[in-house]
Each structure stands twice: as C-alpha cells, then as structure tokens.
Amino acid sequence: MRGAWEPVTWGDPGYLDDVYSDAALTTQLDEHGVPTSSSSQPSLMLTMLEALDVRDGQRVYELGAGTGYNAALLSHRLGDSRVTTVDIDSGLVEAAVRHLHSTGYRPTAIVGDGARGYLHNAPYDRIIATAALPMIPPPLLDQATEGAVVVAPLGYGIVRATVTGPGRAAGRFLGTPAYFMLRRAPGNPPQFESAREQQPSDTHVPVGDVLGRLRFPLSIALPGFTSCSWRDDHGRLDAVGLWTPDGSTAVARTTGTVQQTGPRLLWDTVEELADALPGDPDRADFHLEVTPAGQRVTHRPSGLGWELPTLP
C-alpha cells in the first residue's frame, strides 16, 4: 500500500545498508502508524557527543534511551557504571537493555520521566537529551555539577549550555540543523478546514521561507510548531501549512494570500521574523539563558527574544 510503513529486519535485502547509512531510522510506531521513536542520524549523534565533550571519570545522564546505541557509546568511553539513561516508554527501555547487554554494556537504564532526572546516580557532569524539549528541565540542572555541560534539542536546533550555578545555565545553539521525536504526544491537530474558511489576507513573505530559512527561528518563537506543504501536479510548491499544539493554524499560498484560525495568528509571527531576520539566520547567533525565574532564547544581532514555555 502506498505510504504504508514496512518493517525491515535482519536478513532482509538492504538491511545492513540501512543500518550503516548516515540517516535516521524509524524504530517504533504508535497504533496510528505515527513514528514515536527513532535512531538518530549517526553524524548528528557524533556532533552531539563531540559537543558533550566527556572526560575521564565523569558521570553522564541521558534523557531518552532510544535503541541504547548512544548509551553504548558513552559506556564504552566512560565505563557503564558512569552512564544513566532514562525513558518514559517501558518497551523502549526493555529493548535498549537487551541491545546493551548483548554487547556487554550494563549502564543504569530506568523507566521514568526523563525530565525529572535520576537522583540516585546524581550529580552529573554531562547531560544529553535525545528527545525534543520545550526547555531545559529544571530538575536536570538541580542534579548537575557546577560547570556541567548540557546538550539538548530545543525546537529544530541543538543547544549547548554550561551550568553556572543553582538553576542557572547559559549557552548557544550549534550550527547543525536537527529534528528529534517529541518527548510527549503532540497537542491538537491542525485546523486546516477552519483556516480555509477565514478571510484571506495578503503577505509579503515568500511562503517557502517557512520550510527554509525561517524554520529554526519559528521553532523557537512558536514552541511545538509543525509545518507541511502542498505541491501541484508538477511538483511545484503551492501552499504551506503551519500549526501549534493549541490548534492555531495558518495556510499560506504562493499567490501571496494567508488564512489563519485559532487563539494565535501564526503568520503574524512569520512576518515579524522575516522582517527582523534577513538572509539565513546563523544558529550560533541564538543564545540561551537559564535562571530560576525562567528560560529565554535571544537572537543577539537583532535583539529579538522569546521566553521558553515550562514543561507540561
């Protein structure tokens, strides 16, 4: 059936080519066929591990067990007694443990809310997340040593921050684009039909920018933002849709018209970013500051900033 998922297992043609390719691999689906876990692109995993910069004798905490591959690499480098991995999905943890044990590694693997950390093995010198987060979970900062490094996906980017004190951290985004599975299920579905019933307005922003140069800053300004596109019979871009978990939805056409619905007018944010961020914004210009009062991302050249939402 066109568009259906087909499992690829050991012995199938192309299995080893897929496993050793530099591509993300979907490893779990929900009952609706929506991916809920994956093995990250190896080059992206390497980028994050290099940014983590682990040193001998350090303790590492991983949010999101996945297949166990990341924990295996960390265990090989540091010794498995210094690695803790936590995932909210018991099935994933069970599979990760099987994979780890089969290769001789036995790090601490826990079923639980990874955003809450694991006090028993704290404090941690390095913290890495492999699931998309709306902010750096405060409990993880509470379980980190001063000077600890945190590497985590925020929006469609990866931030590297250093813990500077109790509940405090600061850092900037890596230059590498990234997309990770959500830590929890998304909110409301897009309201495209409702949007198309609204009065159209004009826009000066090329709609393709939502899929290109504005994709990362939109993911920070609009937490949980998701986009899709429609193309004509010749494969040319016809329209772009975007929505957020609260049900706010916008549909923008290449003809220069936009229709919006929901509690927030998303395309207004698109136009604000397009005007304030000419060209292709450099991810390294986006800085994160964490204090006990909240977390904020700032684009230093323009002065634009956004408060990050709290964890659900």
Which are the contacts of 89, defined by CB distance < 8 A and separation ≥ 6?
Answer: 28, 36, 37, 111
Cα separation, 52 vs 183, whole angstroms: 20
Signed CA dihedral, 134, 138, 141, 143: sign only: negative
Annotation says 38 is catalytic: no
Note whether 33 and 5 are within 8 A (CB): yes
The DSSP secondary-structure symbol of 80 reads G
Cα separation, 111 vs 94, whole angstroms: 9
Given 37, 38, 39, 40, the catalytic residue: 40
Closest Cα partner for 130 from 101, 109, 148, 150? 150
3-class SS string, 283-294: HHHEEEEEECCE
Q: Angle at CA 94, nearest 5°, toward 91 and 100?
A: 140
Which residues are identified as catalytic? 40
